[in-house]
Amino acid sequence: MRWDIFCKVIDNHGDAGVCWRLARELAGEGEQVRLWIDDPSALSWMAPVGAPGVDVIHWRDAHDIDAARLAPAQAPDVLIEAFGCEPAEAVIAQLARAISEDGVPRHWINLEYLSAEPYVERLHGLPSPVFRGAGAGLTKRFFYPGFTPATGGLLREHGLMAERDAFDRPAWLAAQAIPWGGERLVSLFCYEPPGLPALLDAWRRGPEPTLLVVTAGRSSAAVRSLLSESEVGAGATGALRLHWLPHVPQPDFDRLLWSCDLNFVRGEDSLVRGLWAGAPLVWQIYPQDDDAHHVKLGAFLEWMDSPASLVRFHHAWNGFSDATPHLPTPEELVQWGAVAAGARTKLLAQESLAQRLYRFVGRKS
């Protein structure tokens, strides 16, 4: 089938990250995928070598499409609109014309944001008639990723767990030049978490040595802003050593999470990757103006069966409470790890997002 995925980059890397993973996975299943994206710059490090079967096209090139001159077979079988981004009219026109001409079932899907809130099960799959523009008269359907069987599920490639099981941690760390000496290894991917200064301070004071692998971009800027020049230069402060990771391709980002004893993730895609890693994780949720993210975080923590210590830590890390995050004790880390592993087991018993997407469009995976 032909799949057209439309992606508008709003901010950060989640829009491109989710769309790229989906495109790559569908192409891996033998699909023809065009990923239309208005700002492909992040793909230069996220996916530097691309993927067979995925054409990345700049959104503006859609203006050159003359829908009236294209055969229906050139229209998408499935048009995926990521996060309500309103795909290019020319491709919608192509879809509409093909539907009217060849009678082949075609689909327009609005891929939504991930949440563990109950509304996701209610809204997943609902139709939304289109009244305006080139698509007037068509119906799109909502596809909500989620954590339960009644939702659209989570992106998970075939064979991911086998790869994770065969993963050689010391070899990968050495290949990335991450100078791990056997100490507690922690990854940091975040915005500017209110709990960061307290946590850096706690790591600095010990009691055990920690190597913090700081990802590129906002995470690294946030940490650097809290250290002195000499600490940044030395890459160390007290019991804490720091490694500044450059932007790495998505598969290496995943391997970073597989390597660490504790992962700090943010947004949407890295949360899912943290769940597949199965190690203790702490999530900085993408903040929303109306504080809707408070409820969203609560729903996720509840779905995870999080113990009180993990809930408290999340509230402090995200600034929902005045408390400062304390270093998790070894016992707490064990408990958080058990919770993460349990969550992963629950998810692995379910179909992946791509498998559910196939059923959604009436195909077997």
Ligand X SMILES: Cc1cn([C@H]2C[C@H](O)[C@@H](COP(=O)(O)OP(=O)(O)O[C@H]3O[C@@H](C)[C@H](O)[C@@H](O)[C@H]3O)O2)c(=O)[nH]c1=O
Residue 299 makes contact with ligand X by CB under 6 A:
no
Residue 267 makes contact with ligand X by CB under 6 A:
yes
Residue 189 makes contact with ligand X by CB under 6 A:
yes
Helical segments of the chain, H only: 14-28, 43-46, 89-102, 119-123, 160-165, 169-175, 196-205, 218-224, 229-234, 250-259, 269-277, 292-303, 308-318, 330-348, 353-360
The values of phi and psi at residue 19, to 5°, are: -65, -40
Site string for ligand X, 228-247 (x = CB under 6 A): -------------------x
DSSP string covering 205-261: H-SS-EEEEEPTTHHHHHHHTTS-HHHHHHTEETTEEEEEPPP--HHHHHHHHHH-S
Please identify which of the residues 81, 117, 254, 268 carries the catalytic annotation. 268
Stretch that binds ligand X, among 5-13, 99-107, 143-151, 234-242 (CB under 6 A): 5-13
Q: How far is the CB of 279 from ligand X (least distance, A)?
A: 16
The interaxial angle of helices 14-28 and 353-360, nearest 10 deg, is 70
Site string for ligand X, 13-52 (x = CB under 6 A): xxx-x----------------------------x------
Q: How far is the CB of 242 from ligand X (least distance, A)?
A: 15
Class of residue 118 by CB neighbours under 10 A (exposed 0-12, middle 13-18, buried 19+): exposed
- Establish whether 268 is a catalytic residue: yes
24, 106, 140, 266: residue in contact with ligand X (rule CB under 6 A): 266
Under 8 Å between Cβ of 129 and 136: no
The values of phi and psi at residue 261, to 5°, are: -85, -20
Q: How far is the CB of 12 from ligand X (least distance, A)?
A: 3
> Residue 347 is encoded by which pair of tokens?
């998810």
Which residue is closest to ligand X by CB?
14
Q: How far is the CB of 250 from ligand X (least distance, A)?
A: 4
Please identify which of the residues 4, 15, 77, 231 carries the catalytic annotation. 15
4, 112, 117, 268: residue in contact with ligand X (rule CB under 6 A): 268
> Residue 330 is encoded by which pair of tokens?
């070894």
Stretch that binds ligand X, among 93-101, 119-127, 156-164, 214-222 (CB under 6 A): 214-222
Q: How far is the CB of 18 from ligand X (least distance, A)?
A: 7
- Establish whether 254 is a catalytic residue: no
94, 250, 259, 352: residue in contact with ligand X (rule CB under 6 A): 250
The sheet carrying 107-111 orders its strands as 54-58, 32-37, 2-7, 78-82, 107-111, 139-143, 127-129
By C-beta, is 79 or 188 nearer to ligand X? 188
CB atoms within 10 A of CB 207: 7
Residues that bind ligand X (CB under 6 A): 10-15, 17, 46, 113, 189, 215-217, 247-248, 250, 253, 266-270, 286
By annotation, the residues acting in catalysis are 15, 268
